[in-house]
Amino acid sequence: MPDATADVVVHDALVLTVDADNRLFERGTVVVADDRITEVRPTREGDADVAGAHVIDGEGSLVMPGLVNAHTHLEMTPLIGAFSDLDFRELLANMTALFARLGDEEFAFFRKAGYELAALNFLTGGVTTVNSMDVRPAAGAEVFGEAGLRGFFGPAMTDLYWDVDVDEQFARFRRFADEYHDTYEGRIRATICPHDDWSCSRDLWERTAALADEYPDLLVHTHLLELEASNTLARSNGAEDSVGLLDEVGLLDERLVAAHFRLADEDDVRRTAAADASVAHCPSIFAYWNPGPDVQWTPVPELRDAGVDVGLGIDDHYWHDSYDLFGEARQARLAANLKRTAGQYDSMELVRMLTIEGARALGMADEIGSLEPGKRADLVLLDVDQPKFTPLANLPAHVVNNATPADVSTVLVDGNVVMKDGSVETMDPEAVEEHAETAIEWFQTRTDWDVTLGGSEPPSTMDNLREMPTRGPARLLGRLALQSGRDAYEKLRR
């Protein structure tokens, strides 16, 4: 019988530990005291009869670690469904125009409504940790903190994508980090977020490296090798390539979380592994918005073989209309198999990418990501007593091929029950939905977007041009054109 001081006991459940041995208990018990797991073992007589404990009958349920969304953006969540049927150029034009305005004070309610809607959907879908890069993340830190979730948040910084003064961007970061880092019982942490390797000048990268030296406990979260222009712009910054640029300024190390890494070659993989940096793989965003049939796919098998920690992320979920992190595991398998050949992953590898590898990527593997004594009690229960899970053969395959957010019944974070039997304990779902509806109505009155039940109509090209930032993108396009010309000349010389 568990100790009488236990706060939570889940008994008679299937338990998928995701520990070093991937242990699976057919009839297991997980015991939580305060915020920590104290026992993970086979169920014993008396586990259901602990006096004073929060006892959960796990019959018909699977207990597993909470999911880790290793890379995402959250502020524009009310626009889910709005981008689905745009072409790729329309998407980029509209996103650039919106990104330039999103930090304005008049968008504060819209941003908060986005964070609320994202938090509610991730909570109910078993995502207990997010790593989000946004424009003004303060509301996100507060919303996720008050909802009892775990989150890494940081304001994006760029000098070639928008026209916000760089000094002000760094000041925003300092204000945010000083107010929110290590708050809400340590569940909310700040991150340093240079936006990407194509819209940041070398000067911004060097300032970011100096900032990282000032905040040695913070992760550095960026987009790396996402676009064809990535290495070209790195050369315009005086480096051989993107990975080399980060290495030269001192940011290629164990604190780096690189989203996408889609265009990485063998040498990129080797250098990233040697630096102990991590990667967040977001398969659905590229499967949905693939800019061409011959584009390279993130070399996840090679990264994992080299020892790089690879987590899974949803990225801009409002671009492809899905909060489903379980679905990212399935998409990772299908897209890799399609690009290469079948058998790129086994199911347990994908379960680990959803949980412990995502935790490792965020520097949290000693705290979360698996069900082991001493770790923080971030865990989810899935209802597997359903026809679609029958028979229960190859449970890891069911998790990554068959499970959806709707199967999540109960969620604990730091030992606190944030959802039980489908009832959210830390948020008001009706209020969240009302705020999101109000936000999208407000958005349409302030922009030229038209979002209806039948679809969406974005602003015209001329309307978008009026909203576009000018100085930053002009410098970016100028650099890209100049470096592309230099590259073409060097190619001809050879």
Q: Is the pLDDT of residue 45 over 80?
A: yes
Query: What percentage of residues in the chain have a pLDDT greater than 70?
Result: 94
Among 5-9, 193-197, 312-316, 331-335, the range scoring the smallest mean pLDDT is 5-9
The third-level CATH classification (topology) of the domain covering 8-65+372-423 is Urease, subunit C; domain 1 (2.30.40)
Q: Is the pLDDT of residue 343 over 90?
A: no
Q: pLDDT category, 51, cuts 50, 70, 90?
A: confident
CA angle in degrees (0–180, nearest 5) for 416-67-186 = 50
Among 21-25, 50-54, 262-266, the range scoring the smallest mean pLDDT is 50-54
Alpha-carbon span 126 to 381, nearest angstrom: 8
Q: pLDDT category, 406, cuts 50, 70, 90?
A: very high
Query: What percentage of residues in the chain have a pLDDT greater than 90?
Result: 78
Query: Cis before residue 137, ω within 30 degrees of 0?
Result: no
The predicted model gives 166-178 an average pLDDT of: 97
pLDDT digits (tens, 9 = 90+) for 426-444: 999 999 999 999 999 999 9
Half-sphere exposure for 163 (CA within 13 Å, toward CB):
12
The domain limits of the chain are 8-65+372-423, 67-361
* Structure confidence at residue 173 (pLDDT): 98
Residues 6+ apart with CB under 8 A from 487: 232, 235
Stated pTM of the model: 0.95
pLDDT digits (tens, 9 = 90+) for 111-161: 999 999 999 999 999 999 999 999 999 999 999 999 999 999 999 999 988
Q: Is the pLDDT of residue 466 over 60?
A: no
b/e 184-217 (16+ beta carbons within 10 angstroms → b) = beebbbbbbbbbbbbbbbbebbebbbebbeebee
Q: Is the pLDDT of residue 203 over 90?
A: yes
Compute the mean pLDDT over every residue in the chain, rounded to the nearest whole number.
92
Q: Is the pLDDT of residue 4 over 60?
A: no
Given CATH 3.20.20.140, say whether it is the number of domain 67-361.
yes
Q: Is the pLDDT of residue 469 over 60?
A: no
Query: Which amino acid, one-letter code, is at 278?
Result: S
Query: Is there a contact between 300 and 310 (Cβ–Cβ < 8 Å)?
Result: yes
Q: pLDDT category, 487, cuts 50, 70, 90?
A: low
* Structure confidence at residue 6 (pLDDT): 72
- What ranges in 147-241 are assigned the alpha helix state H? 166-180, 202-214, 229-236
pLDDT digits (tens, 9 = 90+) for 11-30: 999 999 999 999 999 999 99
* Structure confidence at residue 215 (pLDDT): 98
**The pairing of beta strand 278-281 with beta strand 310-312:** parallel
Output the CA torsion 210→190→172→253 (10° steps): 20
Q: pLDDT category, 404, cuts 50, 70, 90?
A: very high
Please choose, from the candidates 138, 142, 173, the residue with its C-alpha nearest in 3D space to the C-alpha of residue 156. 173
Q: Is the pLDDT of residue 463 over 90?
A: no
Query: Is there a contact between 385 and 91 (Cβ–Cβ < 8 Å)?
Result: no
Output the CA torsion 139→211→194→464 (10° steps): 70
